[in-house]
Amino acid sequence: MNRLSLLTKQNIAIGLIWLFHVSGIMGIIYSDATWFVKATPINLLLSFVLLLINTQLSKKTLLVLLFCFIVGMTAEIIGVKFGFLFGDYAYGDALGFKVLDVPLMIGINWCMLVFITGFIAQFFSNSLWFRVLIGVSLLLFLDLVMEPIAPKLDFWTFEGGLASFHNYFGWTIVAFPLQWVFHKSSIKIEGPYPIHLYLLQFLFFLILLLKLNTSGL
């Protein structure tokens, strides 16, 4: 196997997200945590762009992305303004520019998470409804490790400190139609990039969670 055969867009994308996520973990734990946390929007945007590069883009795909973005942002705005869906919470400044107190990157993150969890869910079943349930479960599983760390990184903070069952129920309500639309649309993503991105997202928050519980951040 020669070097050129390794320099595919999939391998380059996977290498970049491993580099950025591992650097982020090391930087937050051992270096200037504030600087690396502020770089989070760049990391998320890069991950999203690389996902698009490895996705077969069409009018249908773009419409699904727009649907995920609008639904995700609308749900978050309702959540922040009225305490409905997810409970009483507020976003910090680490995720960048906000619209109605919700960072635009959150809408992009909803798109990205729906696509990568939907992609992984396809390997478990040929049943539409089972795939939807697996995709929603993967989203909830990731949220479980995100929630304890989010306030420490100035991502978001819940009233009372911790997310309640209300939050996870809200995630299910929002994620279910998004997963359904993803699978009904038969979005095609090339290669294992979504698997790597989901694994890195999980490891990023898990490692920081373990660090928080042992010696603090």
* pLDDT per position as a tens digit, 25-73: 888 888 888 888 888 999 999 999 999 999 999 999 999 999 999 999 9
For residues 7 and 109, which has the higher predicted lDDT (pLDDT)?
109
Closest CA to 175 of 81, 77, 76, 95: 76
DSSP tally for the chain: helices H, then strands E = 9, 4
Render 129-161 in DSSP notation, one character per residue. Answer: HHHHHHHHHHHHHHHHHHTTTTTTTTSEEETTS
Provide φ and ψ at 145, rounded to 5°: -85, -20
With cut-offs at 50, 70 and 90, classify the pLDDT of residue 217.
Answer: low
Residue 3 has pLDDT above 60, yes or no: no
With cut-offs at 50, 70 and 90, classify the pLDDT of residue 166.
Answer: confident
Give the largest CA-CA distance in the chain.
57
Closest CA to 44 of 116, 151, 145, 141: 116
pTM (whole model) above 0.85: yes
The end-to-end CA distance of the chain, in Å, is 43
Separation between Cα atoms, residue 50 and residue 203, nearest integer Å: 19
Separation between Cα atoms, residue 105 and residue 44, nearest integer Å: 7
With cut-offs at 50, 70 and 90, classify the pLDDT of residue 215.
Answer: low
Closest CA to 180 of 143, 130, 125: 130
Q: How many residues does the chain have?
A: 217
Say if CB 166 and CB 158 are below 8 A apart: no
Task: Please return the burial class of 182, using the count of CB atoms within 10 Å of its CB with bins 0-12, 13-18 and 19+.
Answer: buried
3-state SS class at 23: helix
**Tokens 């095609």, located at residue:** 188
**Tokens 């270096």, located at residue:** 31
Cα angle: 202, vertex 206, 212; to 5 degrees: 150
